[in-house]
A and B are shown apart, each in its own frame.
Chain A
Amino acid sequence: MRTTSLLPVFVTLFPMLMTIGVAYVARESTRLRDHLVVLTTVVTFVAAAAMYPAVIRGELLVFELFEILPGLGFVGSFRVDLLSLCLVLISSFVWMLATIYSLSYMKHGHSQNRYYSTLTLTLGSCIGIFTAGDFFTLFIFFELMSVIAYVLVVHEETAEALKAGYKYIIVTIIGGLSLLLGVINTYEISGSLSLDAGTLITEPSGLALATFIAFLVGFGMKAGMFPLHVWLPDAHPVAPAPASALLSGIMLKTGAYGLFRVVFTVFSPELLIETGWIHIMAVLGIITIILGSAVALTQFELKRRLAYSSIGQMGYVLLGLSVLRETAIVGAIFHIFSHAFMKSCLFLCAGAIIHKTGERDVRKMAGFGTKMPYTFAAFSVAALAMIGIPPLNGFLSKWNLALGALDGEHVAYVGVLLLSSLLNGLYYLPIIIIAFFGDTHEMKRDETSKLMLWPILILAAACFVFGVSPLNILYQLSQFTAAMLMNGGL
């Protein structure tokens, strides 16, 4: 059922418009600016949550804004179905927490006005990717977000940050161009770019394969897929902690979201299986998983280790998507949620640790567990969830991914998943162990500020609540979404 609703446009454009407000107010008062930024993200989250009842009833929220090019059929349209809702909800939620965290984290930082305006603008464009109703609109928001996020990456303006930012922007441009190629090809083949039209490309051809690869490059770049992941371990660690949390926790997911749309809307699962093109994604997914986890083991700088871990975890999503079985899709979508909670929590914890102690080397964190007990407790919860220890959320996604892989008769994939879990254990557990048990001297308690602690604790609690627990509505949402995707639309 199609319902015209202003909400999709509102959640997208409200933060973008508020950016102007934030930038203007910032000249008058920093307090007012901080309040306004938080208000913006909270309102966005509430508006996103307001879409939940309608969408879960099976309604499709649409709104057509204007025609970008008359006569060519590109329409600046917005459209929220279950998959979009999943991502809008998680993005706005994590963004809200990261913004609140920023208030304390950035307190004595430089260029705060620039930082906050960029943060809200990125939120708007990121949500725009998820609410876009056609690939052209999606492309515009995708480019907008990628380019603006550059400002967040280079925020510290150190030589290292600028270098990583340069790499980021170059790779982003290549990815964007590739995506544009994919969009143009799709239009060339099918004459439409709308997400509503069902399957856009139904016939296998050379051009269709080129389109698939172009999309894979464009979105895979953002998702940190091997071999396009090179920018990620440089860019994520240099950004300020809340921005790293958003880059790793949310913005990577835009790539995954795009690939979902490519698999289910541009192409169809049947076509991809029939032609075998999906195997490209599966193989790249496996390499991504193993590579991310294995390389994380060799890294000793906390944020770099987390960044490599993100690569591995995005591989799970790619692998789950490439299996194309309902259980696996449930696992992939639920892992998007899980990973957003876990990784944002870990990055925010890393930020709190570095902010408080200045220590970045995981081998030198002995005794920090007694110094910052709550932060490290949250860190441990998120890290254990990452390994997939029940009853935390990571276990559920792994469970579904593995069952889905068996559904698709890929026993080896289960082995890959478990091997990666073992590697996760090998690089996360030493951090926890050394922090809590590495030093017998009781360190003086020196916990991070409340404003930074609460977002961390909420995210850690989310790992529990959305794990093996009766409150796990996100799992249901993932199930509905997977069923919707596998049944082809609503």
Chain B
Amino acid sequence: MYHLPLVATLLPMFGAFLIAALRKRPLTRDIVATLLVASSLGVLISLYPLLGSGALHSSYPIPTIGLALNFRVDGAGFVFAVLIGFVWLLATVFCRAYMAHAHAQTRFYSLLVFTLGGCIGVVTAGDFLTLFVFFELMTFSSYVLVVHEQDPESMKAGDLFIRLGVAGGLVLLFAIILMQYHLGHTDIRPLLPEIAASGMNQFLVIALFVIGFGVKAGMVPLHIWLPRAHPVAPAPASALLSGIMIKVGAYGILRVLIEVFSAPGPVDSGSEHVFFSTAASSSGYVLIWMGVLTMFFGAFLALQQTMAKKTLAYSSVSQMGYILLAIGSAAFLGTDGAMGFVGALYHIINHAFFKAGLFIMVGAIYIHTHELDIDRVRGMARVFPLLTVTFVVAAAGIAGVPGFNGYASKTLVHHAIEKAYHYSHLPSLFWAEKIFVLTSALTICYFIKLFRGLFLGPTSAAFANKGYKQHISARIIPVVFAAIVLLIGLFPQVLYQGLVTPAMAGFAFDPYNIGTYITGLEFFVWPDIRAMLIVFALTAVIYPVGNYIGLFELLRHGRLAQVKKVSTVRLPELPAWLSVEALVYQPLAHAGFRICTYMHTYLDAGVNYTLFTGIASLFHRLIRSVGSLEKLLLGLYEGGSDIPGKLSGASEDRSHSGAVHRSSLWSNRNINTAALLVAFLITLFLVVFFVFQHP
């Protein structure tokens, strides 16, 4: 059992090379890829006994460099790892249908499997250094998945993805280096006593960690890469990027705020015992608001999209907001934050299923249409009746309809924000709760819009081909996802009691709080269902009104005017410059490059000019003046030694050219004089030298 985390991580990584070697045999290659993912998942599942009972540590020291690869799997890590493996397996099977006619399939498969190793490595890592190693490997290998199509759009999206990925990784590295310096190790376990003793700047370290992981998690305003990169990737990759890889960022934030900055036992801080750092708690408050902003803007922007995958990508941003909010509330409440923790974890699981499922469903449509813009692809309900059903199920999951999986986790997240308000009585959190409700309504709105666009209406002639036969895995996988969404939704307690609450073991939550609020929690109770009904009522108001006044078409930039009749009351379209990218990132990038150019112009070329050219011309001038001095001296010698010659032919010499003049300068007699002078100077020098050398 000791080596299992390492095996589960390295198996896909080395397996990727095996897949690359099988490029001549597509079928074998696909089967091997699926088997690799499945066996890695199997290895992870065999760690099940750990759940709730403690953690498995395994360490692989590298003596030559004094560092070690550490793995540590506890309940939370186990849940993440199994979730990753499971969704990955489904997506890999779906690849068989989606990638059948794509180019560079071997590259895609081998990097898909390699990325799995990176993801598992991150969630099973026992210290942040190990985590960082796998985190970077994941970033770079998933880049290849993002740019798979290699068209200009995906290359641009990929550039953004990799740049922000590298920048985020470096910020993370900064935090890890600070931690290593102050603590001497980077272990992922409750460290508050050590941290408090070391005098580390807690706010700085937390901020760096949250930014570093936040880039990956798609936290506003670091999210800009996400809505670009997720839609351009092939559907199985989008499903994994949105369903799994952004969760890795959330995982990191969760570990830092709720685990690392908590204490394994009571820490004496003044008079009372604390289990959580005050820095983590205040950061939790900030994170709640980051989450609220992320969920609201994500949902708002998702409403404006017409490309189905773009809607889903913005929806992922929005859903990450829910997760961040829950994590923030857990950190904010400290020992009483168990609700936030279970909410975050449960929503991570649910979001992985419905979002990966949705991406795969629209991917299945894409296989047929090669187009996903709801202005053009319409009426798919007639072509794909089965997909229509699964899509509705998954959308009901994300909308939080009771009986579908999103309901359970959204209820938990809602409880978390309510608890944060009740414990602190901060009026700001009251408003946060209201925005939460509004966002939930917007979520349903954009899914209605997407569903109407994609499935209803007249089928365009180009796509109405009834004879189209779907690949078997393109039919099964969406059904599997829908079934999971439905099963979790109908029996929320199974996962809740089976996986989510046991994962709390090892975290410093108050057992009394857990016993009162968490263990015996019922999902289908009237207040929670009522909260959902309020959301539906709100939706019933917002959607028709918004549709009428053009609330969902604020970013279309006139493209719609030809398609649809414009209503009389209409909101103005938002200008293109009103985005974080145009407001912050582009000017920043621009300024950065400007600075580089200035450095080139002034520091590099400038120094070159002054130091090399400038000094050279100075020397040139100096030599010229020395030269004229020499000429003067020679003229004096000439005057002194060649008086007869001067007397006889002075007038002729002056009138003749320089060459003649010079030849007369270097006549024998002059050289004699010069030699005498030089000999005299050397003697003088030697005498002076010896006199001073031996006093």
Helix, strand, loop or mixed for chain A's interface? helix
Say yes or no: A440 contacts B150, CB within 8 Å. yes
User: Within 8 Å of chain A (Cβ to Cβ): is B691?
Assistant: no
Asked if A418 is an interface residue, CB under 8 A from chain B, the answer is yes
Which listed segment binds B: A17-25, A208-216, A385-393, A456-464? A385-393
Contact A294 B600, CB 8 Å, known A391-B133, A421-B170, A433-B159:
yes
- Report B-chain residues with C-beta under 8 Å of the C-beta of A227: 603, 607, 611
Quick check: is B166 within 8 A (CB to CB) of the other chain? Answer: yes
Instruction: List A residues 206-233 near B (Cβ within 8 Å).
Output: 226-231, 233
A298 with B65: CB separation less than 8 A: no
Query: Quick check: is B608 within 8 A (CB to CB) of the other chain?
Result: yes
Q: Is the CB of B166 within 8 A of A422?
A: yes
Contact A406 B603 (CB under 8 A): no
Tell me the complex Cα distance, A421–B150, Å.
Answer: 26
B465 adjacent to chain A (CB < 8 Å): no
Question: 1/0 per residue A378-406: CB within 8 Å of B?
Answer: 00000010011111000010010011001
Q: Quick check: B140 and A295 within 8 Å, CB to CB?
A: no
The answer to whether A429 and B596 touch across the interface, beta carbons within 8 angstroms, is: no
Contact A433 B596 (CB under 8 A): no
A333 CB–B CB distance under 8 Å? no
Instruction: Say which residue of A291, A414, A429, A475 sits within 8 Å of B64 (CB atoms).
Output: A475
Flag if A414 contacts B62 (CB, 8 Å).
no
B593 to chain A: which residues have CB within 8 Å? 297-298
B contact residues around A437 at 8 Å (CB): 144, 147, 150, 155, 158
A-contact bits for B136-179, CB 8 A (1 contact / 0 none): 11001000100100110001001100110011001101100110
B297 at interface by CB-CB < 8 Å: no
| Given A390-B133, A429-B166; A295-B599 close (CB under 8 Å) | yes
Nearest-CB distance from A397 to chain B (Å)? Answer: 11
Whether B604 sits at the interface, judged by CB under 8 Å, is yes
Set of chain A residues within 8 Å of B167, measured between Cβ atoms: 422, 425
How many residue pairs bridge A and B at CB < 8 Å? 119
Report the Cα distance A37→B171, complex, angstroms: 47
* Contact between A297 and B62, CB atoms less than 8 A apart: no
Q: Flag if B162 contacts A429 (CB, 8 Å).
A: yes
Contact assessment for B612 and A472 in the assembled complex, using a CB-CB cutoff below 8 Å: no
**Cβ-defined partner of B170 (8 Å) among A230, A406, A418:** A418
Tell me if B251 counts as interface (CB < 8 A to partner A).
no
The answer to the question of A54 belonging to the interface, with a C-beta cut-off of 8 Å to chain B, is: no
Cβ–Cβ contact B166 & A425, under 8 A:
yes
> What separation, in Å, do the CA atoms of A403 and B181 have in the docked complex?
6
Q: Which of B158, B163, B170, B180 meets A403, CB within 8 Å?
A: B180
- Whether A469 lies near B62 (C-beta < 8 A) is yes
In the complex, residue of chain A having the shortest beta-carbon distance to the beta carbon of B60: A470
Contacts of B147 in A (CB 8 A): 433, 437
Which residues of the other chain, B, contact A468 by a CB distance below 8 angstroms?
A: 62, 65, 67, 133
Measured in the bound complex, the distance between the Cα atoms of B178 and A438 in whole Å is 38
CB <8 Å contact, B607 and A471 = no
Contact of B603 among A291, A429, A470 (CB under 8 A): A291
Check A418 against B173 for contact (C-beta < 8 Å).
yes
Q: In the bound complex, do residue A414 and residue B174 qualify as a contact, i.e. CB atoms below 8 Å apart? A: yes
Q: Is B103 in the interface zone, CB < 8 Å from A?
A: yes
Set B174, B177, B596: member contacting A294, Cβ < 8 A: B596
**One of B158, B166, B596, B611 near A230 (C-beta < 8 A):** B611
Q: Does A407 contact B (CB under 8 A)?
A: yes
Residues of B within 8 A of A231 (CB): 612
Residues of A within 8 A of B140 (CB): 384, 389
- Are A396 and B608 in contact, with the CB atoms below 8 A? no
> Is there an interface contact between B62 and A470, defined as CB atoms closer than 8 Å?
yes
Q: Chain B residues near A469: list those with CB within 8 A.
A: 62, 64-65
Q: A227-B611, A390-B136 are in contact. Are A440 and B103 (CB under 8 A)?
A: yes
Q: Is A273 in contact with chain B by the CB < 8 A criterion? A: no
Which residue of chain B is the closest to A384 with respect to CB atoms?
A: B140
**Within the assembled complex, what's the spacing in Å between the Cα atoms of A390 and B166?**
12
Closest to A470 in B: B62
Q: Which residues of A contact B98 (CB under 8 A)?
A: none
For the complex, what is the distance from the CA of A46 to the CA of B63, rounded to whole Å? 26
Query: Is A425 touching B163 in the complex (CB atoms < 8 A)?
Result: yes
Q: Determine whether A198 belongs to the interface, using a CB cutoff of 8 Å to chain B.
A: no
Contacts of B171 in A (CB 8 A): 418
Nearest A residue to B171, CB-CB: A418
Known: A226-B603, A403-B177, A437-B147. A422 touches B616 (CB 8 A): no
Interface residue ranges of A402-448 to B (CB < 8 Å):
402-403, 406-407, 411, 414-415, 418, 421-423, 425-426, 429-430, 433, 437-440
Question: With contacts A399-B177, A426-B163, A437-B155 known, is A290 near B62, CB below 8 A?
Answer: no
Complex Cα distance, B595 from A422, in Å, reads: 14
Contact A406 B64 (CB under 8 A): no
Is there contact, CB below 8 Å, between A475 and B173?
no
- Does B275 touch A at the CB level, under 8 Å? no
- CA–CA, A367 and B644, complex, Å: 82
* A272 interfacial contact with B, CB 8 Å: no
Q: Which listed residue (A298, A414, A429) contacts B597, Cβ 8 A?
A: A298
Binary per-residue interface labels of chain B (588-619) against chain A in the complex, 1 for a CB within 8 Å, 0 otherwise: 00000101110110011001100110001000
CA distance A264 to B155 in the complex (A): 50
B289 within 8 A of partner (CB): no
Task: Decide yes or no whether B132 CB sits under 8 A from chain A.
Answer: yes
How many Å lie between the Cα of A226 and that of B159 in the bound state?
31
Residues of B contacting A384 with CB < 8 Å?
A: 140
Task: Tell me if A170 counts as interface (CB < 8 A to partner B).
Answer: yes
Residues of chain B lying within 8 A (CB to CB) of residue A475: 64-65
Question: Residue of B at shortest CB range from A479?
Answer: B66
Q: By the criterion CB–CB under 8 Å, are A298 and B181 in contact?
A: no
Is A298 a contact partner of B177 (Cβ separation < 8 A)?
no
Please name all residues of chain A whose beta carbon is closer than 8 Å to the beta carbon of B177 when the two chains form the complex: 399, 402-403, 406, 414
Residues of chain B lying within 8 A (CB to CB) of residue A406: 177-178, 181
In the complex, residue of chain B having the shortest beta-carbon distance to the beta carbon of A472: B64
**Chain B residue at smallest Cβ distance from A390:** B133
Q: Does A167 contact B (CB under 8 A)?
A: yes
**Cα separation A337 to B62 with both chains bound (whole Å):** 19
The CA-CA distance from A414 to B207 in the complex, in Å, is 16
Please report the C-alpha to C-alpha distance between residue A227 and residue B67 in the assembled complex, in whole angstroms. Answer: 37
Chain A residue with Cβ nearest B132: A390
Answer whether residue A287 sits at the interface, using C-beta atoms and an 8 A cutoff.
yes
B596 to chain A, nearest CB (A): 4
- Chain B proximity of A363: nearest CB distance (Å): 13
Q: How far, in angstroms, from A389 to B595 measured CA to CA in the complex? A: 25
Mask for B569-601, Cβ within 8 A of A = 1, else 0? Answer: 000000000000000000000000101110110
Q: Are A297 and B159 in contact (CB under 8 A)?
A: no
Knowing A418-B170, A433-B158, say if A290 contacts B180 (CB, 8 Å). no
Nearest Cβ on chain B to A367's Cβ, whole angstroms? 10
Instruction: Kindly state whether residue A262 has any CB partner on chain B within 8 Å.
Output: no
A390 to B170, CA, bound (A): 11
Q: Does A9 contact B (CB under 8 A)?
A: no
Q: Does A473 contact B (CB under 8 A)?
A: yes
Q: How far is the CB of A430 from chain B (nearest CB, A)?
A: 8
A291 adjacent to B604 (CB under 8 Å): yes
Which of B147, B596, B597, B603 lies at the interface centre, i.e. has the most chain A CB atoms within 10 A of its CB? B596
Tell me, in angstroms, the Cα distance from A389 to B612 when the chains sit together.
37
In the complex, the answer to whether B64 meets A295 with C-beta atoms within 8 Å is: no
CA distance A40 to B665 in the complex (A): 54
- A171 on the B face (CB < 8 A): yes
- CB-CB under 8 A from B166, the residues of chain A are 387, 421-422, 425, 429
Which residues of chain A have C-beta atoms less than 8 A from B180's C-beta?
Answer: 403
CB distance from A283 to the nearest CB of B (A): 13
Q: List 7 A-B contacts (CB under 8 A).
A: A290-B599, A390-B137, A403-B181, A433-B147, A433-B159, A475-B64, A476-B64
Residues of B within 8 A of A (CB): 62-67, 103, 132-133, 136-137, 140, 144, 147, 150-151, 155, 158-159, 162-163, 166-167, 170-171, 173-174, 177-178, 180-181, 593, 595-597, 599-600, 603-604, 607-608, 611-612, 616
Closest 10 CB pairs of A and B: A406-B181, A294-B596, A425-B166, A390-B133, A227-B607, A230-B608, A472-B64, A294-B599, A418-B170, A295-B600
